[in-house]
Amino acid sequence: MKIKALCSKKGICLLVTLMLCLSMLPAGHVTAVAEGEAKSYIIVTADENALQNIEEKIDDTVVDENEILAENDMLVAELTAKEVRRLNKDAEVLFIEEDFEMEANNNCKEKISPDEALAIRAAKLENSNEQGPGKPWESQSIEQFPEYTPEEVKAIKESYHEAMQEKLSRDSLEPEDYEWNMQVVAANDIDEELLMTDIAKTKVAVLDSGVDMVRGIELADTINLVPEEQYVSPLFLDVSGHGTSIASIIAGNPENEVQGVNPDAALYSVKVLDRDNKAPVSRIIEGIYWCIDNDMKIINMSFGTKTYSKALQKAVKDAYDTDILMISAAGNNADDVEYPAVFSEVMAVAATNTSAEISDFSNTGEELEIAAPGEKIKAAGFFGGQIVTEGTSIAAPHVSGAASLLWAKDPAKSNEFIRQLLAYSTRPISNSDDCGLLDVNFALEIYDDFAESWSGEMLVNPEQLPDNSEEPETFEEVDDNESYVEGRWTKPGHQTLAENGMSKNGYSSSSAAMKAVKAGAIHPDEDDNMSGLGSYPEYHGGYTDGGNKINYIACYEFITRIALKNGSSSSFSGPSVVSGLNEYTYYWMHYDFKNANKVGSKTWASVFNKLGISDTNANRKNYTWGIALHILGDIFAHKTYQKKDDLQIVHVKSNSSEMDGADKPEVVARRYKVAKRAIEDSVACLSLNVYGDYLELDYGLKQPLESSDKQNFTKPRLLQYAQANAAKYGVLGNAETNRFTAANR
């Protein structure tokens, strides 16, 4: 049972006088296994010396070395049941438990019956070119796109670029332009006088699947704790898209038309969930201790499990004792609240629908403290687009954003002050007595009165505070709005382009399509036929392969052209198709896509089976375009130099003449700002069905050098290769030449 120190709006303060007794809690979770079968376990020891002694008693080949866990007297090891029993008898071991898996609380998984799912699938097959059961790839026709002239391609891109400039330049939204979820929690029309003029930036950690570098989200820092995904570029770090959506609700800004509750929050991406939105509990614990070590004020945890973990509870308690406010999703199974939300130190969040009622799928119970919108929510998606999503996962960040806004008024306030203020200020929910609906503006309005009634540990004289009895606004019209179809991905500004006749189908697509693009973007780092800058420079922004020159811009264009042929190079007969592409590079890249059944060294079937999507023409197109995005991003990560000292920015610092940080966005930060914009413009090309070329780099370089960009970068042969690629347009314009010259070496 979770005991909450919350204050009644009827003037009764529920004072907490009971404590959870550890001796009454269940022992660490251990699943019975065969005697000789090894499984992963978390071992919690008494102190540092005990940890060292236990490590010496265990075969070091089975120990997972982890500095953060070790600092907190924990380790993870592969053990048999016999070894577990032996260690449990050791006086230096506090307890041992299985390192089980946790999962994100994203979209509800069991909302339709199997029969309904089959009917939906059948309808899709009738209205699309998806591959049906038993239909061989060879029988699918190649999807044909308009063959634009180079001049038409350039005109289309320039029109798109101009249409986006106005959206990128604005710094705020009108209250009525906020998404419905921000309106219902009153985060759209906050009285500026209630905020401090010089607002402090509250440090908020998004403990999730990572946060991509996309327009509309500013990150203070990012850390990747997933060992098997260390190779993923920070441009594409969030393989699933879950963490990026969460981050946008907390602190998104108007550049992406999805403004979060507090764009001024200092947002930290702590990647603990893998591409499947899963993590062993030990990695969640590691992430929590990272937050403690790095002085986070708020931790957003949009994941959960039904399984109790004593080690996780210890980490949660340690975080709470350091004055961190932890906010967690309740879960999506229409069941009891899950861990870690169920812990008394954590604020549990339920999801509401457009009628301001608790969602059917949301977990419920007396552990709930607050609710926020969790259905038909537009959030940031891959590559500067938007995704429509649902779940208690997406409800929790509304509360985290509100907490960061309140804490900015006085950073000296305690986590319990912010927590109780949030819970006290909620609006009533018609179908629940467990909690109320988040009301950001009302919390700000009563802040001073609440502070006067705060004793330092609890609220006194609550009868002197105003009661929030206002009924929440409802937005049922959203349910019938086609733009709020769950899973839909859209590109801001598509309506303007559609009206101009530039895009017959607009920019709307399924989340599966963007999933294919994102998976393609990390493909060159996973494929034996493409992996490695030294071996395959054409896929990683390299400019030489031994004595052969590699025009990385032409490589990018060639792959986008292959993508428009649904991932097949069979219709291309020579390098002349792309300006600047030589025979050597053409041969190798053509080879990787000439087999109808493979992409590089992987079969299309294996690629899409892993993603859980169909092998279709459209998905092959999208996946291949993702590979082109990888090239575009790596142009700025690899073989790039710090302009000031002419130092190469490398992955690993090997000597004093090289600068570490190829995949660190904070190292010569403008590289990634340019890459981010170029990638977003490239995705627009995909949506418009026009090939990519040097223009995406030019638009990226067009961004002015800001005061925060203390250093600029240079890229070898950038001007030379851009000129070669631009030959189809004649020559570079003067302004273009100047931009490429500034970044050329």
Catalytic site positions: 208, 242, 393
Structure tokens at 621: 């197109």
Q: In angstroms, rounded to a whole number, what is the distance separating the alpha carbons of residues 435 and 227?
A: 38
Which residue do the tokens 């005991």 mark?
A: 3
Q: What angle do CA 742, 743, 745 make, to 5 degrees?
A: 100
Contacts of residue 316, Cβ cutoff 8 Å, sequence gap at least 6: 288, 326, 340, 343, 345, 346
Say if CB 327 and CB 204 are below 8 A apart: no
Edge to edge, the sheet with strand 647-650 lists 658-660, 647-650, 640-642, 713-714
Other C-beta atoms within 10 Å of 575: how many?
Answer: 19
Q: In angstroms, rounded to a whole number, what is the distance separating the alpha carbons of residues 7 and 538?
A: 62
DSSP 8-class letter at 294 = T
Contacts of residue 70, Cβ cutoff 8 Å, sequence gap at least 6: 51
Q: In angstroms, rounded to a whole number, what is the distance separating the alpha carbons of residues 741 and 745?
A: 8
Contacts of residue 390, Cβ cutoff 8 Å, sequence gap at least 6: 107, 108, 351, 359, 361, 374, 375, 376, 377, 486
**Spatial CA neighbour of 679 closest among 214, 145, 160:** 214
Structure tokens at 473: 């606004």
Say if CB 185 and CB 438 are below 8 A apart: yes
Q: What angle do CA 682, 686, 692 make, to 5 degrees?
A: 50
Q: In angstroms, rounded to a whole number, what is the distance separating the alpha carbons of residues 46 and 268?
A: 31
3-state class (DSSP) for residue 55: helix
Say if CB 521 and CB 540 are below 8 A apart: no
Backbone angles phi, psi at 159, to 5 degrees: -65, -40
Number of H helices, E strands in the chain: 23, 28
Buried b (16+ CB within 10 A) or exposed e, 32-65: eeeeeeebbbbbbbeeeebbeebbeebeeeebee
Contacts of residue 98, Cβ cutoff 8 Å, sequence gap at least 6: 28, 29, 30, 31, 39, 40, 41, 42
Q: In angstroms, rounded to a whole number, what is the distance separating the alpha carbons of residues 348 and 370?
A: 7
Q: In angstroms, rounded to a whole number, what is the distance separating the alpha carbons of residues 386 and 380?
A: 5
Say if CB 137 and CB 131 are below 8 A apart: yes
DSSP 8-class letter at 244 = H
Backbone angles phi, psi at 325, to 5 degrees: -95, 120
Say if CB 211 and CB 238 are below 8 A apart: yes
